[in-house]
Amino acid sequence: MNPISAILQRIEVIIPLAAGVIILASLLILRGRRKKNIAPSDLDSIKVISKEEGGEAAEKEEKKISGEELSKLETKILEVLRAKGSLKPYPIPASKEGGHYLDLAGISEKDARTLIDSLIEKGLVLEGEREFSAVACPICGSCSQVAMISCKNCGSLRLNEIKYYKHACGFIGPESSFRSESGLVCPQCGSSENIELYHRKYRCPDCGAEFEEPSLTFKCGSCGA
């Protein structure tokens, strides 16, 4: 499977100020209202921006925002932003979404993305810098991927790793030439000291090819593609 890249970007939250009044305070009054469903996409980091940074566009947006309904979870996100100043996604191994906002305890990765998309539609957030990218399935979009090595020549997944050792006397050979009943012993001088791993190679049992760097392929842990 040829994976795609799930981009996790930074987004900026615009919360305009007018006459010294923080609009967030009025937004918090609108708790418990209807939640708007939006398809989830990439994770982003978010931060609060004042009216001075938003400019005239922020002043126009203020009138629009003040009359909108925010769900309890949307309000919770704004409260966390007000307290912490910013939110960033962090990579989570085997996660379908690739990462999560650790400060949003109690909100799933999928719901967090949906809520942020809702805030984007309301004009509170803007896309910003990319935080990180994760490998995603081109079929289902899941970031839960298993990395597998394969033969560069025939694509077989049944590779054997061959370790090469080096002794202080200068002899270099595969592990099989050093292996003895008592452990690793240099076949050239008979010493069992100062033997170190020199490098690795991979051998394909299907076509016989040998190489130092195998190809890398991915299998989706969600849909199996």
Q: Are residues 161 and 131 part of one domain?
A: no
pLDDT value at residue 127:
62
pLDDT value at residue 102:
80
Q: Are residues 152 and 132 part of one domain?
A: no
- ∠ CA 77-40-128, nearest 5°, is 65
Those residues whose C-beta lies under 8 Å from the C-beta of residue 181, and which sit 6 or more positions away, are: none
pLDDT value at residue 20:
29
Residue that is last in its domain, among 92, 113, 136: 136
Q: Which residue, among 123, 119, 117, 48, has the nearest Cα to 86 in the 3D structure?
A: 48
pLDDT profile of the chain (225 residues), mean per 10: 58 42 35 37 47 46 44 80 76 77 78 81 70 82 88 94 94 93 92 93 94 91 84
Helix (H) or strand (E) holding 27: helix 23-28
36 token code pair: 């708007």
Q: Are residues 170 and 62 part of one domain?
A: no
- Separation between Cα atoms, residue 47 and residue 30, nearest integer Å: 21
* Residue 177 domain boundaries: 147-220
pLDDT value at residue 36:
38
Residue that is last in its domain, among 136, 166, 192: 136
Those residues whose C-beta lies under 8 Å from the C-beta of residue 62, and which sit 6 or more positions away, are: 16, 18, 23, 51
> How remote is the C-alpha of 15 from its chain's centroid?
28
What is this structure's pTM?
A: 0.50
User: Would you list the DSSP string of 81-128?
Assistant: HHHHSEE-EEE-TT-SSSEEETTSTTS-HHHHHHHHHHHHHTTSEEEE
pLDDT value at residue 156:
94
Cα torsion 95, 157, 155, 198: sign? positive
pLDDT value at residue 124:
74
